[in-house]
Amino acid sequence: MKILVVDDHALIREGLRQVLRGLEDDVEVLEAGSCARAFELARQAPELDLVLLDYHLPDMNGLEALDVFARQHPALPIIVLSGSVNPRVMQLVMQKGAAAFLTKSGMSDELLSVTRLVLAGGVHMPALPQILNDEIALEVPAPLLTPRQEEVLQLLLDGYTNKEVGRMLYLSEETVKNHVSSILRSFGVTTRTQAVLAANRHGYAGSGRPQLSPDDSA
């Protein structure tokens, strides 16, 4: 497993490195003190599994960096970290396609838990003030989904892969992919992360059901 940590403070990078070692024994952590260096490392290491990105960097803010990563590495999941809590920034970061937003004041266990979720293909939606959620929900009407599409969406919200969804709903993986594509079009988005975010805004939520074991999902 290879993870890129982007932060302009060496002590923060070292602290994150130590925490991330709790994921597994062979985790490799790359470090960058600027976005320019981060983009360079990402080009040199196409096998990257995840990026932890500080929102406030000397050469570029998190939103701009997310745009660059989206163009150059669209499948690479990104967790954005910030030292401050700004609900509007949290909203914008998730709309840009981040897989999670965490504050640096959080606990190590939370970082590890969210990191595992994101590495498994899930999305961690930060809790936004209800008034802001209401404003977002009013921006566009909820799309109309078929009952089967709603079943697939529910399992996506729970973090299941296409293969796992197919097994649970007795569908071929190709059929699941077609349903996922239809869901993305319905929400007017291009990635699963954006679809999950859009679904959250319209009142859809994960069930909290337990994930399949490695043996079950094989």
pLDDT of residue 208: 52
Average pLDDT, the chain: 82
For the stretch 9-48, pLDDT in tens is 999 999 999 999 888 878 899 999 999 999 999 999 989 9
For the stretch 45-71, pLDDT in tens is 989 999 999 988 888 888 889 989 989
For the stretch 145-182, pLDDT in tens is 888 888 899 898 888 889 999 999 999 999 999 999 98
Q: In which residue are the tokens 């337990």 written?
A: 210
pTM to 2 decimal places = 0.62
- For the chain, which domains are there? 2-134 (3.40.50.2300), 140-201 (1.10.10.10)
Can you tell me the distance from the alpha carbon of 107 to that of 92, in angstroms, rounded to the nearest whole number? 23
Long-range contacts of 163-169 (CB under 8 A, 24+ apart): 163/217, 164/212, 164/216, 164/217, 167/216, 167/217
Q: Which residue has the higher pLDDT, 86 or 33?
A: 33
Closest C-alpha among 122, 107, 102 to residue 164 = 122
Can you tell me the distance from the alpha carbon of 153 to that of 151, in angstroms, rounded to the nearest whole number? 5
Token pair for 198: 């859009």
pLDDT of 85 higher than 50: yes
pLDDT of residue 115: 92
pLDDT of 80 higher than 60: yes
Can you tell me the distance from the alpha carbon of 145 to that of 155, in angstroms, rounded to the nearest whole number? 14
pLDDT of residue 62: 86
Can you tell me the distance from the alpha carbon of 55 to that of 80, in angstroms, rounded to the nearest whole number? 6
- Taking only Cα atoms into account, the Rg of the chain, rounded to an integer number of angstroms, comes to 17
Can you tell me the distance from the alpha carbon of 179 to that of 14, in angstroms, rounded to the nearest whole number? 42
Give the number of other CB atoms < 10 A from CB of residue 42: 20
For the stretch 95-153, pLDDT in tens is 888 999 888 887 888 899 999 989 988 888 776 544 344 444 444 555 778 888 888 99
